[in-house]
Amino acid sequence: MRFIIKHEIKGRIRIHIIQNKMTYMQADTLQYFFETRKYVVSAKVYHRLGDAAIYYTGNRDVLIRDLKEFSYDNVQVPEVFLQNSGRELNQIYWDRLITNVALHIGKKIFLPYSIKAVMAMAKSVKYIWKGICTLRKGKIEVPVLDATAIGVSVFRSDFKTAGSVMFLLGIGEILEEWTHKKSVDDLARSMSLNVGKVWLCSGENEILVDASQIKENDLVRVNMGSMIPFDGTVVMGEAMVNQSSLTGEAIAVRKSEGVSVYAGTVVEEGEITICVSQANGSTKFEKIVTMIEETEKLKSSLESRAEHLADKLVPYTLAGTGFVYLLTRNVTRALSVLMVDFSCALKLAMPISVLSAIREAGLYNITVKGGKFLEAMAEADTIVFDKTGTLTKAQPTVADVISFNGDNPDELLRIAACLEEHFPHSMAKAVVDAASERKLVHEELHSKVEYIVAHGISTTINNKKAVIGSYHFVFEDEKCTVREEYRERFESIPSQYSHLYMAIENELAAVICIEDPLREEAPEVIRKLRNAGIKKVVMMTGDSDRTASVIADKVGVDEYYSEVLPEDKAGFVEREKLEGRKVIMIGDGINDSPALSAADVGIAISDGAEIAREIADITIGADSLKELVTLKEISNCLMMRINKNYRMIVGINTGLIILGVGGIIMPTSSALLHNASTLAISLKSMENLLR
């Protein structure tokens, strides 16, 4: 690629690509190229200018070399990335906005009054007809008010006022549509599938492969707790599938042979084999967009209240117009009331504020599935943390494998990895990663694997029953024992680790010691959450009291509960809500999903189980709890902005009505000032909440 360097400082370079014109696809290809370079911190491609600004770390020469060798033809960009970039959408709406402004100014300067009058009359038909249709439905809402204001202005031959009102209404519609569409698309993109590996059925074997290798009609196995990665039909097995991402209903649906399943839904119970009918994620994206656009879930109660209030105020505005006319017999003063209404600003500014906040959260890798969850986040006073993978790092590691049957620790780790690789949990991942690091190849040694939620795994290896999981599961539920000669070793297991117990034929075979280091930022995050309005911090974990107490002391929670089951977490959340508290639940595992559903706001850590992310109201994609503080601050600031908007809308419009009724300003000025203030508040509402 040929380019010139326009500007450069350490760690940042801006280049101009030497070519005639850069297409949307070329810009997206270059953007994808930058995003896949490890040394690139961030990059932005300006397709209209043919420029790119790149922030990088490390050796500048590597960046320059890669830019010189870059070719659009040599970069394989995923189809979903191109489809969902949003670049073309932004340009279309920007062009519409600029065109409307330019045409309005051009008409005012160059066209004679007679032609402008005819154009205003023709354009007014659309608004007047919309108002009439609203009245025919028995409703007196904002379209009626707009139609009355424009119609009266046209009737009085005040085409200047009518034209200005219609222009500002048009600009408002473009901005609202653009902001809404962009926010919904950004939200949907962040919710789109991000499937890395899947189990491909090849003959009688299952092979773990990249999702990108899957083709139409391939057979894919989906285990309990995993996301269904593709649209398809069940050809084997039976499962209860959570389809809330598509239908909005949290109740799982039974799926058996011959029934269709959809990408992005989650297997809550059972396991199925599907025949793939759609091998890419675009269908899922489209379904999510539709779901978000149609669901009331997107609206906060404040936003809904503003919309209802806006419609309720319309009759009062019309009545006020008539009252002023009866009182003064002055059409001009009566029109001053008609030209100013509260509803337009309320219906425009509030949704834009909420959608902009959702978009801004996305900049920090936070996916918010609806405005009402930001409102609940702002009002929350209690926060409940799961421990493993949440307060502790999402990548626990195996510190030691202690043998209790005489077998080599590596052999025991190999068996454990063979079992654990089927299920998405941070401790399971630690076992699989440890086996991979030691280059322990584990073929499928076992028969069907059964996962018992919050307890462990049970299967058969070489006709011997094998279980792996918690102390409670292995020793109390499964009644496993420890050989007498290993009793002393068992009593001296290091207490600073979390323990995973594996037994074969009801005898303990190994204890895998898992290091579960505390997230460095956890104590500071909890302190900042308290400063942001959280009054009660709770930690709940299935680990032993010994392990839980150490973590609780380090992070400084108000209460902690150890050795809890999923129903215990959900029960605690419900009790807190009954006492009048607004509760946030944060987790990452299958066992957290009941509590995530029960909480006012369920927040999932993105590295956790798919079902946790699916059920959660908010997902944090960054590997840091600091985003929790960011989310709380965005939520608090959003509520402050909405309340401030209320005060500004009421204050400005009341002032304009008083000035109009008093004869101080003309209806034309009232209309322009009203629409200008509405536009200004809406534009202000699009700004980021955090500096």
CATH number (domain holding residue 547): 3.40.50.1000
Residue with tokens 């009182």: 327
Residues 6+ apart with CB under 8 A from 395: 426, 429, 430, 433, 607
Q: Which of 81-90, 355-364, 581-590 has the lowest mean pLDDT?
A: 81-90
pLDDT tens across 22-43, in order? 999 999 999 989 988 889 988 9
Please tell me the predicted confidence (pLDDT) of residue 584: 94
Helix (H) or strand (E) holding 603: strand 601-605
444: three-class secondary structure by DSSP: coil
Please tell me the predicted confidence (pLDDT) of residue 283: 52
pLDDT beyond 90 at 174: no
Please tell me the predicted confidence (pLDDT) of residue 541: 85
Cβ atoms of 614 and 266 within 8 Å: the answer is yes
pLDDT beyond 50 at 282: no
The number of C-alpha atoms within 13 Å of 501 and in the hemisphere containing its C-beta is: 21
140: three-class secondary structure by DSSP: coil
**CATH code, 205:** 2.70.150.10
Please tell me the predicted confidence (pLDDT) of residue 125: 93
The verdict on residue 630 lying in a domain is: no
Helix (H) or strand (E) holding 254: strand 253-255
Cβ atoms of 62 and 50 within 8 Å: the answer is no
Please tell me the predicted confidence (pLDDT) of residue 391: 86
The verdict on residue 292 lying in a domain is: no
Q: Which of 18-32, 135-149, 226-240, 604-618 has the lowest mean pLDDT?
A: 604-618
Please tell me the predicted confidence (pLDDT) of residue 304: 61
Nearest-5° Cα angle at 213, 211 to 217: 95
Strands (E), 462-598: 464-469, 498-504, 507-515, 536-540, 559-561, 583-587
The number of C-alpha atoms within 13 Å of 358 and in the hemisphere containing its C-beta is: 33
Cβ atoms of 26 and 32 within 8 Å: the answer is no
Number of domains in the chain: 5
**CATH code, 22:** 3.30.70
pLDDT beyond 60 at 380: yes
Same domain, 34 and 120: no
Identify the domain containing residue 484 by its residue range.
397-515
**CATH code, 484:** 3.40.1110.10
Q: In what order do the strands lie in the sheet with 456-461?
A: 397-403, 507-515, 498-504, 464-469, 456-461, 450-452
Local confidence band at 235 (pLDDT 50, 70, 90 cut-offs): very high
At position 650, the amino acid (one-letter code) is: V
Cβ atoms of 257 and 236 within 8 Å: the answer is yes
Partner residues linked to 486 by β-bridges: none
Cβ atoms of 599 and 250 within 8 Å: the answer is no
CA distance 536 to 160: 59
Please tell me the predicted confidence (pLDDT) of residue 12: 94
CA distance 429 to 397: 9
As a whole-number percent, the residues of the chain with pLDDT over 70 amount to 83
Burial classification of residue 104, based on how many CB atoms lie within 10 Å of its CB (0-12 exposed, 13-18 middle, 19 or more buried):
middle
Selection from 565, 515, 572 nearest residue 538 by Cα: 572
Please tell me the predicted confidence (pLDDT) of residue 34: 92
Selection from 402, 412, 591, 406 nearest residue 497 by Cα: 402
Please tell me the predicted confidence (pLDDT) of residue 344: 64
Number of Cβ within a 10 Å radius of residue 484: 7
| Overall average pLDDT of the 242-249 stretch | 60
Partner residues linked to 579 by β-bridges: none
- DSSP letter, residue 517: P
Pick the more confident residue, 183 or 583: 583
Helices 371-379 and 626-661 pack at an angle, to 10 degrees, of 100
The verdict on residue 318 lying in a domain is: yes
Same domain, 389 and 401: no
Please tell me the predicted confidence (pLDDT) of residue 429: 80
C-alpha dist (Å) from residue 545 to 282, 298, 392, 428, 554: 46, 40, 16, 21, 14
Q: Which of 378-382, 430-434, 680-684 has the lowest mean pLDDT?
A: 680-684
Local confidence band at 295 (pLDDT 50, 70, 90 cut-offs): very low
Strands (E), 432-532: 450-452, 456-461, 464-469, 498-504, 507-515
CA distance 540 to 472: 16
Please tell me the predicted confidence (pLDDT) of residue 128: 92
Please tell me the predicted confidence (pLDDT) of residue 633: 94
Same domain, 71 and 106: no
Number of Cβ within a 10 Å radius of residue 256: 12
End position of a domain, from candidates 573, 591, 621: 621
Same domain, 598 and 540: yes
Cβ atoms of 276 and 261 within 8 Å: the answer is no
Local confidence band at 442 (pLDDT 50, 70, 90 cut-offs): low
pLDDT tens across 70-80, in order? 999 888 887 66
Please tell me the predicted confidence (pLDDT) of residue 461: 81
C-alpha dist (Å) from residue 146 to 134, 314, 376, 646, 666: 11, 10, 34, 21, 18
| Overall average pLDDT of the 219-247 stretch | 82
Tokens of 132: 């009439």
What is the rounded average pLDDT for all residues in the chain?
82
205: three-class secondary structure by DSSP: strand
Q: Taking the mean position of all CA atoms in its chain, how far away is CA 604?
A: 10
CA distance 55 to 68: 17
The verdict on residue 627 lying in a domain is: no
Same domain, 347 and 247: no
CA distance 234 to 525: 44
Same domain, 324 and 464: no
Q: Which of 186-190, 469-473, 550-554 has the lowest mean pLDDT?
A: 186-190
Cβ atoms of 494 and 476 within 8 Å: the answer is no
513 φ, ψ to 5°?
-90, 120
| Maximum mean pLDDT: which of 27-36, 172-181, 305-314, 331-340 | 27-36
Same domain, 489 and 422: yes
Cβ atoms of 399 and 413 within 8 Å: the answer is no
pLDDT beyond 90 at 577: yes
Same domain, 215 and 248: yes
The verdict on residue 125 lying in a domain is: yes
The verdict on residue 289 lying in a domain is: no
Please tell me the predicted confidence (pLDDT) of residue 55: 93
CA distance 357 to 179: 11
Pick the more confident residue, 284 or 157: 157
Same domain, 608 and 539: yes
Pick the more confident residue, 347 or 277: 277
Pick the more confident residue, 392 or 278: 392
Same domain, 101 and 157: yes
Local confidence band at 381 (pLDDT 50, 70, 90 cut-offs): very high
Partner residues linked to 366 by β-bridges: 620
End position of a domain, from candidates 595, 621, 647: 621
Strands (E), 306-351: none
pLDDT tens across 521-535, in order? 999 999 999 999 999
pLDDT beyond 70 at 311: no
Same domain, 115 and 263: no
pLDDT beyond 80 at 242: no
Please tell me the predicted confidence (pLDDT) of residue 562: 87
Selection from 15, 635, 641, 575 nearest residue 358 by Cα: 635
As a whole-number percent, the residues of the chain with pLDDT over 90 amount to 27
pLDDT tens across 604-658, in order? 876 655 556 667 788 887 677 899 999 999 999 999 998 898 888 888 888 888 8
The verdict on residue 250 lying in a domain is: yes
Selection from 499, 458, 459, 462 nearest residue 482 by Cα: 499
CA distance 599 to 596: 5
CB under 8 A, 24+ apart: contacts of 200-203: 201/273
Strands (E), 472-599: 498-504, 507-515, 536-540, 559-561, 583-587
pLDDT beyond 70 at 197: yes
Same domain, 437 and 501: yes
CA distance 172 to 162: 15
Selection from 438, 468, 440, 436 nearest residue 452 by Cα: 468
pLDDT beyond 80 at 83: no
Local confidence band at 296 (pLDDT 50, 70, 90 cut-offs): very low
Tokens of 370: 């609806």
pLDDT tens across 495-511, in order? 778 789 999 999 999 99
The verdict on residue 73 lying in a domain is: yes
CA distance 494 to 316: 74
